Amino acid sequence: MPSPIQVVALLKAQNIRHVRLYDADRAMLHALANTGIRVTVSVPNEQLLGIGQSNATAANWVARNVIAHVPATNITAIAVGSEILTTLPNAAPVLVSALKFIHSALVASNLDGQIKVSTPQSSSIILDSFPPSQAFFNRSWDPVMVPLLKFLQSTRSYFMLNVYPYYDYMQSNGVIPLDYALFRPLPPNKEAVDANTLLHYTNVFDAIVDAAYFSMSYLNFTNIPIFVTESGWPSKGDSSEPDATLDNANTYNSNLIRHVLNNSGTPKHPGIVVSTYIYELYNEDSRPGPVSEKNWGLFDANSMPIYTLHLTGAGTLLSNDTTNQTFCVAKESADPKMLQAALDWACGPGKVDCTFLLQGQPCYEPNNVVAHSTYAFNAYFQKMAKSPGTCDFKGVATITTSDPSHGSCIFPGSSGRNGSFPNTTSLAPSSNSSTSGCHSVYFYGAGSFTTSVIIGVLLMSMVYL
């Protein structure tokens, strides 16, 4: 997987202004320093018991993972554990204590005003989620949920929720239509209607979020905003997962981004943005489990897009291409004969305009096969809209976020053509409930939390090569 420096380069190229780390990786925090990117760090599940049982342990964690990095690294939130009630129930009795101890350490350092503390929950803690107006949290967790919600309310924090319409669809045995899960338009007679409120639901995502709002209302908490910390759709599955496809993943994530950015909110709270992380930034080829578990990413390990999000009409915040400001370059270690063959193909059958490489033209110098191949490879890559597989050339090319333009030689796709960067889709790494060492990032639209637009992407465990 990419190194922290490479990850941050991608985030900057994508104009990502917020990032969430699934842990508090020191190398990532150092790489994020002085970038202005707003960072959420996380307490891994395996550290929760110790922190929840000791104020001193919590203070030490904050000192090492927060105070040591601010203000150079702009840390704005701490996610304490992930889906503790459903994945680590033995730690549930100390969950709220952990949040309080972490918050107390922030108060002692006068950081509580800028850093929020919360904990992501699985939507499976919501029972009878449809109709949303009848939903409620699993009552067996009331001894935890009530003090948790009191804490979130008193600290003006948010309720973190993981929302996966894919799993709801898969587990419904055909009851939930695929179009309803994917945000596809439904005729009015196909919309789900809450008989108690007469609210119409056109997608699973909104129904789950409103079910959480109603569940909090059931416990008499009505002013805590919801932050969706994980959501997405796998792009590939095995024979038992026929709807884990590139098209469905593209459709879901594109529609989700559009849905969040149009500020529509939910039927219960129209106009109130539900900030959201997309799961996840990179595919995980070595992850155990079914094929779908390896294929939630928007990029592969080489930062090659798995698919290009369809975002036409999404407004000025996003463009049609998630990989703006990425380029295709020749590998300097590649066999010169293979580079020459690939260069000949690009300028011939590949129909790249290679006149810029002729003597006397802007990109003639340096006059060597690596430099000329880099220009031709990138021109082809850009011409093909950066589609998967168009920056390979039999293994002699690779993706980079560094603009290879030099002097008067301006490469296709470079901001140098018009002096300004195009609007870009901002991606963000995020967390997964069962894996530590993850990073997550999200897109941020200007404004305070109550008006911000956040689209995030989860970045799973990384091995730095």
Query: Would you name the residues annotated as active-site residues?
Result: 83, 230
Q: Please list, in sequence order, all residues whose beta carbon lies within 8 angstroms of the beta carbon of residue 336, skipping any fewer than 6 positions away.
A: 369, 370
* DSSP-assigned letter for residue 383: H
Q: Please list, in sequence order, all residues whose beta carbon lies within 8 angstroms of the beta carbon of residue 406, skipping any fewer than 6 positions away.
A: none
* DSSP-assigned letter for residue 145: H
> 192-193 and 200-201: which strand pairing?
antiparallel
Structure tokens at 450: 């109550």
Long-range CB contacts (< 8 A, 24+ apart) of 153-158? Answer: 153/221, 153/223, 153/224, 155/103, 155/112, 155/116, 155/117, 156/116, 157/116, 157/117, 157/118, 157/224, 158/116, 158/118, 158/224, 158/225, 158/226, 158/227, 158/449
Pairwise CA distance, residues 329 & 346, whole Å: 13
Three-state DSSP string of 166-210: HHHHHCCCCCCCHHHHCCCCCCHHHCEECCCCCCEECCHHHHHHH
Query: Pick from 229, 274, 161, 254: which is nearest to 20 by CA?
Result: 229
Pairwise CA distance, residues 444 & 425, whole Å: 11
Taking phi over 0 as left and psi of -120 to 50 as alpha, with beta for the rest, 360 belongs to: left
Q: Do residues 411 and 383 lie in contact, with contact meaning Cβ atoms separated by under 8 Å? A: no
Query: Pick from 312, 320, 298, 303: which is nearest to 246 by CA?
Result: 298
Pairwise CA distance, residues 41 & 74, whole Å: 10
State the DSSP string of 214-277: HHHHHTT-----EEEEE----S---TT-TT--HHHHHHHHHHHHHHHHTT-B-SSSBT----EE
| Residues forming beta bridges with residue 459, ordered by sequence position | 439
State the DSSP string of 427-455: -----BTTB-S-EEEEEE-SS-GGG--EE
